[in-house]
Structure 1
Amino acid sequence: MTAPRQDPLRDPRFFADPYPTYDRLREGCPVRRVPTGSGGHHAYLITGHAEAREAFTDPRLSKDTARFFADRPSNRDLHPAISRNMLASDPPVHTRHRRVATRLFTTGRVRELRPFINRVVDDLTATWRPGTDIDLVADLAVPLPVTVVCELLGVPKPDRATLAARSHDLFDATDTDRVDAASHHIGDYLTHLVDTARATPGDGPLHSLLRDCDAGGLDRDETVSLAALLLVAGHETTTHFIGNAVLALLRHPEAFDRLRRDPDLIPGALDELLRFDSPVSVATFRHSTEDLRVGGFDIPAGFPVLIAPGAANRDPSAFPDPNHLDLDRDAGAHLSFGHGIHRCPGAPLARAEAEIALRTLLTRFPATRLAAPATSLPWRRTRLTRGLTTLPLTLA
């Protein structure tokens, strides 16, 4: 297989619509070597569904970022809370972190959170009126998950907007200095928040989290790193989930009308909406610790490996007619939340937030329409996530 001459995931056309690129790469070879950035570096990109599922569970693909860069010079300066979190670790370290994180998002705990989520959505939409224009991203998709995760972490209300903005900066693919600075702002803030909570007895959500961390054997730095992961992963992808789902429905009026007429179908439609336009385009960093084969294709040791859920979810061998939004499709095998031991533990919360947001929009404003051409909408310039920067709507 011949590697492309330039990084296909940095082309401006990719950010606007990655799926033609993914289709072309997958049809050529579902596991292929691609250039990454500048400097002659390469990675292996996995775009096939079966191959992605296999790679997600292969222990020879490590997520231990520190191990990969131990003997590779780097000028990056990420805060340890960002660079050494659960997503950048392997068992047994990962196992301890995940055991704590999973307890935070059990079905029972998410059920207990639903009344709070409903109140947040009601507050955010209280001033919305038919005939007015809103930006769904700024007015709902961003503040909803930010408010929920900050409530879980005990972040004071005056600090939430700044913390969310710094979290947003972490995904800026064009400015590594900005990313590094944002990581230190978040890491330092959460370190202070955790230390203050430990020194002040209480019974709030953060104190509950600290007790879970203590019971799980996490030390101070590990507790801060878990808090940082909850903050960043707990709202960024959910923001894109909501925005992408609303846009997909507006571009498919028959699907929008079906859910409007029967909102109880929304929970069952979430998997197809996640599959159709995944908020996670390329999964977080992995690297090969030894030579291996994925789907019959060789990957040598010592290379970064990029698994692309956004591509795998549009693989026609797994999902016939994949570019069509089909609410009757069994899309439960989508990979938007990952697969295996690193599957997103916060998936139940993300689904609850998206369901409540969609139900509110479709029932209160059933004739809502786009306030700008879909082809003109601006998308985030990052290969990791796929999401809109704005989504202008006219409420009706």
Structure 2
Amino acid sequence: MSEINKADNTMPQVMREIFSGGLVRTVISILLGFLVGALFMIGSNKEFIESLGYIFARPGDALGAAFAVVNEGYGALFRGAIYNADAETFEKAIRPLTETLRLGAPLIAAGLGIGLTFRVGLFNIGGTGQLIFGMIFATFVATRLELPFVLHMVVALIAGIVGAALLGAFVGFLKARTGAHEVILTIMMNYIALYFFTFLMRDPALLQETRASGNPKADAAAETALLPKLLGDNYSLHWGLIFALLAVVVFWWLMERSTIGYRLRMVGFNPDAARAAGINVEKTYILAMALSAGFVGVAAANQTLGTAIGVTPSSHANIGFDAITVALLGGSSGPGILLAGLLFGAFKAGAPSMQVFGVSPEVLGIVQGAIVLFIAAPPLIRAIFRLPKPQTTNALEAIRKRIFTRGGGSK
């Protein structure tokens, strides 16, 4: 039991170290990630490899090939994710930006949920399972209930949030009552949720009608439950972006201005000091996991209600795992996660364009992995650029004083 307590006390310290780097280290990590991606593009380019055979005779060929492939690769990313200057009309030129916003919306919502648990000193690796549970609830409401337009959409959205929150609360309950580690619990719940979802879609009485195809697929959501388009039928961008932005505002208020957020942050800084101040740490863990999964549920509703086709077991689109990266890059703050989600939405939107120009879209996965590596390894960044070590001890002591001042030191 003492080893578990040591691990629980160490994790918040690790997260404080990761999140205390500020804007400078984040920008450096992003730039280094793109640099790593550029190196992989250069190293896999045929022209560059061929020019290595006579590089000392004509080094300009190697440099020209390296510059060309990086310029084409990241240029294609920009055209596929932000603005396509080669498009025939302005409508088509800004379509990449709308796709970035559409694909970034669920990443923002899910990233907020994962970031919330980081602020409480927990590691929620179960975003995928929670998103799937939200999709189950949202799909059931969107396909089995008949409600007026708007009301049907709102009820389905709430159902997605509730479904995800229930699974998160269950994980928090097991941690609080048994001491089981949330990482193990959430990882296992991912598998349970995925196979349970597949089981439901194979049963005609539950989520789908009888189909000849062997691929499980849920019924399409009713038209009254679909998220309305934001810019008309010519674009796929829908109200999922609005709900993601509202989630950012709610997250900011919850964590920075509310009493609940104060308690969540106190438990994240030091559970023992929070318990001494009268905060029920176990109940806080349950609440934190439920709230975290609730934000993931917004992403689940986005995936379920965003298109007029039924969801499949792959509709989670790895959003639950990508949200971990978004939360880390965003420093678990509302504005940071918003920007990080848009960045990774741009990666998703621009990947097909890179492939058209002969650059493997997997390079973007390498860029993402490199960014996370640099974000999650503060000593590495400090060693490369000789940055000062952040002073977190004084801040922690100040928080402890605030706890005892408010709580009066009573149990």
TM-score band, normalised by the shorter chain?
A: under 0.3
Greater relative CO (CA pairs within 8 A, separation 6+): 2
Bigger Cα Rg: 2
Please identify which structure carries the higher strand content.
1
Instruction: Give the TM-score, by structure 1 length.
Output: 0.26
